[in-house]
Amino acid sequence: MNLIGIISTTHVMAKSELLKKAKPKKIQTEFGPATIYLTESTALILRHGNDPDHHILPHMINYRANLGALQKIGVTEIVGVNSSGSLKKDLPPGVIVIPDDFIAFTAPPTVFRDSATHITPDLNEEVRRKLIKAAQSCSIPVREKATYWQTPGPRLETKAEIKMMSTFADIVGMTMASEAIIARELGLRYASACSVDNFCHGILDEPLSMEKILAGTRKNAALIRKLLQYFIKEP
């Protein structure tokens, strides 16, 4: 069986058998080291680290090493689990989104160094359809098409920024586009399951805090773990 790559967080995976039964393995890549948690069928990376006292902020994540390590051990198919905020009042927290496109105007990371190599970024349709099929198999309703807008973080967005983004995108986050771009550059098939954990700043009248965002992430974690369980079983 080919290893399935998963990139997620401890907030989502802490109660997952995929983490509990996994053996950590440190992989050295040309972009730096990365730690992969291995089972017989999965290769899991915790993008923000596994140390509760040292949370790796989005702009400090070594995306190149993470994806490069997965490639090095033979992974070709990757699911990113990404927390997101909703830009639309009709897309409430608790929904799982399988985005089909993204926007990332700030300079994302790249594996290319010495020459200009132009790629067309995308989210792999085969992996996307497999995620949607897995959701249907376990009766999890998902939004099958949406545009993800990536901001650099670590700060949240202003109300004016959210108002502008909502014209062109459905959800916003700080990590998915970077992973998707690096995966595409390395020839890896990547798609994402985004949990909508909160309404963005200014969508509602009530203030937004990191505590509310993390509470939404933990609330959605069981749905994501169930989705991954069925995804792994899909042929």
Q: pLDDT tens digits for the chain (235 residues)?
A: 589 999 999 989 989 999 999 999 999 999 999 999 999 999 999 999 998 778 899 999 999 999 999 999 999 999 999 999 999 999 999 999 999 999 999 877 889 877 667 788 899 999 999 999 999 999 999 999 999 999 998 998 999 999 999 999 999 999 999 999 999 999 999 999 999 999 999 998 887 777 777 787 888 999 999 999 999 987 6
Amino acid at 204: L
Q: What pLDDT score does 116 carry?
A: 63
Q: How far apart are CA 46 and CA 56, in angstroms?
A: 10
Q: Considering the domain 4-233 in this protein, what is its CATH number?
A: 3.40.50.1580
Name every residue whose Cβ is closer than 8 Å to that of residue 157 and which is 6 or more positions away in sequence.
151, 165, 172, 200, 201
Q: Quote the pTM value.
A: 0.94
How many Cβ atoms from other residues are within 10 Å of residue 163's Cβ?
15
Q: Is 11 helix (H, G, I), strand (E, B) or coil?
A: helix
Q: What pLDDT score does 208 carry?
A: 77
Residue from 220, 89, 40, 56 nearest 142 by CA: 220
Each domain of the chain, given as residue ranges in start order, spans: 4-233
- Facing residues of 192 across strands? 80
